[in-house]
Chain A
Amino acid sequence: MGTTTPMRFRQAIVNALADEMRADSTVMLFGEDVAEAEGPFKTSEGLLTEFGPLRIRDTPISEMGFTGAAVGAAIMGMKPVVEIMFMEFLGVALDQLVTEAAKMRYLSNGMLSVPMVVRASVGSGLGFGCQHSQTLENWVAATPGLKVVCPSDAQAAYSLMRASIQDPDPVMILEPRILYAERGDVDTSLALPIGKARVLRKGSDITVVALGQMVNVARNAIEKSGLDVELIDLATVVPWDRETVLASVKKTGRLVVVEEAPKSGGWGSEIVAAATSELFSQLKGAPFRITTPDVPVPYSGVLEARFVPTADDVARQLTESLKSGTTPKSWWELEGLK
């Protein structure tokens, strides 16, 4: 373990980009207002000054064009990092990522690699409304050929960024926007390989798997509950770490997944399905998911705060499930809403 430095989540991103750019002259960054303005969320602070306009570029508002340009540059040996300001803006560029980038190696009989990174800010909690607040893991997670990661703290933001840039294949990084200003200690020598989950807390009662901003929620819930919970930050959605998660569930016999995504079609369904199929006889209770409801992200502060799982919610459901052995109701079921 090397020395750690305190920094904000967004600074960890800047530092990882800078360290990769110093180490590898083929790494470049482009996106809307990333150069002169240093990023709408200040995730490229100082990069234009250090690396110059050839490698740090502002783009027009043309996500399809510049995401596709990253595909071409990557094929030719560059390592482009593309910033999509809000994940929803990927909608107009999805073709280039899931249909072009993710298929190049397959369709070139293994001749081509596409070492590109697409970063996008995701998630709710800041009052940006339903077209700027989704997590949308499932837009990208069902695409073979595309890796998907999601950091939950400054350390993960740093290490996953470096791993993603070094990866020879296309990687999508989902950056929880609400975490940009959060502080954390970062050890720049610590590697977090893509596909490796992080066991943040050892425990024996229940395995809780969380992602992104839900990791903090789960951690707070565990403290509130006083239960002996094993907390796993999944960190990589594709390919997810079956070994770590299933070994933990085998040990505890119980699994709860905490997700920011809507109930239907969330990444957690995959985890619950795998645990149920593979460890059925060893389970002590039914695995279940704590998610947001199947509604667009509401704007009102009161509603948005209620929309997302809270530490109280998660603590209640963990405690209830252990006590009663049944699957607890979601907050909206308790409210009689659907």
Chain B
Amino acid sequence: MSAELKRRKAVQEDVVAQYERMIEIREFEEQINGLFASGSIRGTTHLCLGQEALAVGLASVLRPTDIVSATYRGHGIALALGLSPEAVLGEIMGKTIGCCGGVGGSMHLSNMELGLLPTSAIIGGGMPVAAGAALSFQVRKTDDVAVAVFGDGATNIGAFHETLNLASIWNLPVVFICDNNVYGEYSRINLTTPLEDLHMRADSYKMPHFSLDGMEIAAVQKGITEAVNRARSGGGPTLIEAKTYRFAGHSRADQALYRPEGELEKWQKRDPIKLTEQSLVASGALNAEKIAKIKSDMKVTIEKVVATCQASPEPSLASMFQNIFTPAKAGR
């Protein structure tokens, strides 16, 4: 079993491992701005701070043979699904150690062994593709499922509506997860969308739908499990709206000065990391001392990841000419 599959297995089995992965994502994302400032990262990044419970909750419920399409805000989902921090940070830094050898960048993370399709930088771009993956499962009669993760902004793009309709009439084994983090780029969702509960849109496609608390990993796991079980057993698609909050701006350039005063602070009181800690302490799985150790160990781990990625070579010129077409094979 590859190291990355082992990482995946860990979050499928163990609540403490799930918490550790959330801490890993938090620590990882918090390094990014510093690496920008020091010139190790260029272009742009879209951080998922505050959305760790959804990423890890999803990874803990799915099998590696299930397929996930996600977005440019994909660092957390990639790490949660099991990509190594070196594969993710290396890609963000454009180094050969990255999951795409450095030609993809922050917005394009993937690993098919873990079921992660290349994340898309186009709003809604991954949704029809996930439906197509689900179609392949249906035709081949496997019980795998496809999951499309997308933001609240995507619910206003044609691909969202076309894909929901198609998935519904074909009864595809796909789960649509709208990560409603309240902001589509620089605009608050209420300025661009006439309804608050985005999952209601599934009504017009006769598709089961519900919202869940995206800050609470147990709620994420319960909701996604319900939808995944329906898809696996031939019950067709579901639209889930995970209510989350984007703690950072849209992208590197955005300081999110448009937020109403106090909104961020209100959501930070329900920080998914805090909520998970409270629940694990209550169950006796963790205590204050263990939590402090997990956090300090993770700092060291991520520092090492940064050093490893810094030391990784730049890609060769030849690498930009690779993987454009599939090499020809003899016969069929």
Contact = CB atoms under 8 A, between A and B. Distances in A.
Interface of A: 32-33, 36-37, 40, 58-65, 88-89, 91-92, 126-132, 293-296, 298-303, 306-307, 332, 335, 337-338
Interface of B: 42-44, 91, 94-95, 100, 102-108, 120-124, 153-154, 156-159, 184-187, 191-193, 253, 258, 314-315, 317-321, 324
B43 A299 contact: yes
Contacts, number: 134
B156 A36 contact: no
A202 B149 CA distance: 55
The secondary-structure label for the interface of chain B is loop
Contacts of A89: 122-123
Contacts of A300: 94-95, 102-103, 105, 314-315
17 contacts: A32-B185, A40-B186, A60-B193, A61-B154, A62-B156, A64-B158, A127-B42, A127-B105, A129-B43, A129-B105, A129-B121, A295-B320, A298-B320, A302-B314, A303-B315, A337-B317, A337-B321
Nearest to A336: B318
B158 A296 contact: no
B74 to A, nearest CB: 12
A65 B156 CA distance: 9
A259 to B, nearest CB: 17
A227 to B, nearest CB: 28
A132 B156 contact: no
A92 B158 contact: yes
B193 A131 contact: no
Contacts of B100: 299
B186 A37 contact: yes
A65 B159 CA distance: 12
A92 B159 contact: yes
Nearest to A85: B185
* Centre residue among A58, A300, A301 by max chain B CB count within 10 A: A300
Contact of A62 (B108, B121, B157): B157
Given A61-B156, A337-B317, 7 more contacts: A33-B186, A89-B122, A126-B42, A127-B94, A131-B107, A131-B122, A293-B320
Nearest to A303: B320
Given A293-B320, A303-B102, A337-B317, A88 B185 contact: no
Contacts of A88: 121-122
A333 to B, nearest CB: 12
A63 B122 CA distance: 11
A92 B157 contact: yes
A58 B191 contact: yes
